[in-house]
Amino acid sequence: MVRIDKLVVVGVGLIGGSFALALKGAGAVGRVVGVGRGAANIYRAQELKIIDSGGALDAATFGDAELVLLAVPVGQMPDVMRAIAPLLGKKTVVTDAGSTKEDVVALARRELKASLARFVPGHPIAGTEKSGAEAAFPELYRERKVVLTPLKGTSPRAKALVKGAWESCGAKVFELEPREHDAVLATVSHLPHVLAYALVDQVAASRDAKRLFSYAAGGFRDFTRIASSHPEMWRDICIANKKALLAELDRYGRGLARVKRMLERGDAKALEALFTGAREARDRWLKNRE
């Protein structure tokens, strides 16, 4: 098991906070320092014993850190990387939890310079629709997948530390190319988020919104759960992964057009085949997940 003397978490929300709590729970970390834009959230994180103290974008915070986790919305990543690059110690390993990887990798190449070999891009595929330090809990990563997208020049020591840290959180660690990662996540995560936001928007924008919502039930609730996710974070993910997401939205549009044609011609057989195939695929997936 890894042992991290000093961990710095930049962005102590659901993701960063749960990482700190999980490592503390596993006895894998000494001191945890939290850095964030919102003083109230950092204060709350300290109260909740997620972090031991609040830090700043300075050498005292980052110079002797063994591991730094960047858990901010992807859109804040440029500012954060630029700010920390000159502060990092010679041995400090940096990883991130960004939901897109091509953009984070390109950014790291531009900004991290001397520390690039000690940067291990990562993405824990876990979360809830809640956000902020209050939402953090130590079991978030248990049995969940974490994808690392290391570069050619990434140091084996750095990769082993990050992998070990996530494993201490109970996660299973996989490796993908950044582009592969972004394409996969566009389909199974970014697309459904946009679809859920769009459905709630459609209902809310109706003249009849109040009555429509009053008849919405459990199916609507679960379908739209992810539309309660952090808007800034999802704005950034969509912009960062725009190309892959647009391609998936196009494919989805073609799929819906196919369903519409089935409906228009009243093709019950084709509809049932589509629904049956989808149900079977989903049920197989659920079974394999267990």
The partner residues of 119 in beta bridges, in order of sequence, read: 94
76 DSSP assignment:
G
Alpha helix stretches (DSSP H) within 86-177: 102-111, 156-168
- State the nearest-atom distance from the C-beta of 140 to a copy of itself, in Å: 10
How many CB atoms neighbour CB 56 within 10 A?
Answer: 12
**Residue closer to a copy of itself, measured from CB, 46 or 228:** 228
Per CB under 8 A, contacts with a copy of itself among 17-76 are 75
The single residue among 126, 133, 136, 161 that binds a copy of itself, judged by CB under 8 A, is 126
**Residue closer to a copy of itself, measured from CB, 34 or 127:** 127
CA distances from 253 to 164, 191, 222, 259 (A): 41, 11, 22, 10
- State the nearest-atom distance from the C-beta of 218 to a copy of itself, in Å: 7
- State the nearest-atom distance from the C-beta of 250 to a copy of itself, in Å: 8
Per CB under 8 A, contacts with a copy of itself among 144-163 are 144-145, 147
The single residue among 66, 207, 285, 290 that binds a copy of itself, judged by CB under 8 A, is 285
Please give the single-letter amino acid code of residue 222. D
**Residue closer to a copy of itself, measured from CB, 88 or 169:** 169
Q: 180: closest CA among 148, 226, 152?
A: 148
Applying CB under 8 A, which part among 42-50, 105-113, 159-167, 223-231 lies near a copy of itself?
223-231
Report the alpha-carbon distance of residue 240 to residue 236 in Å, rounded.
Answer: 6
- State the nearest-atom distance from the C-beta of 4 to a copy of itself, in Å: 26
Residue 104 lies near a copy of itself (rule: CB under 8 A): no
Q: 10: closest CA among 92, 128, 106?
A: 92
- State the nearest-atom distance from the C-beta of 74 to a copy of itself, in Å: 11
Local structure of 130: helix, strand or coil: coil
Per CB under 8 A, contacts with a copy of itself among 238-267 are 238-239, 242, 245-246, 248-249, 251-253, 255-256, 259-260, 263-264, 266
- State the nearest-atom distance from the C-beta of 154 to a copy of itself, in Å: 21
Q: Is 5 within 8 Å of 66 (Cβ atoms)?
A: yes
Report the alpha-carbon distance of residue 28 to residue 102 in Å, rounded.
Answer: 30
State the binding string over 178-217 for a copy of itself (x if CB under 8 A, else -). ------xx-xxx-xxxxxxxxxxxxxx-x-xx-xxxxxxx
**Residue closer to a copy of itself, measured from CB, 53 or 276:** 276
Report the alpha-carbon distance of residue 290 to residue 286 in Å, rounded.
Answer: 7
Q: Is 267 exposed, middle or buried (0-12, 13-18, 19+ CB in 10 A)?
A: middle
Local structure of 75: helix, strand or coil: helix
Residue 177 lies near a copy of itself (rule: CB under 8 A): no
89 DSSP assignment:
-
Applying CB under 8 A, which part among 8-16, 25-33, 152-160, 272-280 lies near a copy of itself?
272-280
Residue 232 lies near a copy of itself (rule: CB under 8 A): yes
**Residue closer to a copy of itself, measured from CB, 99 or 168:** 99
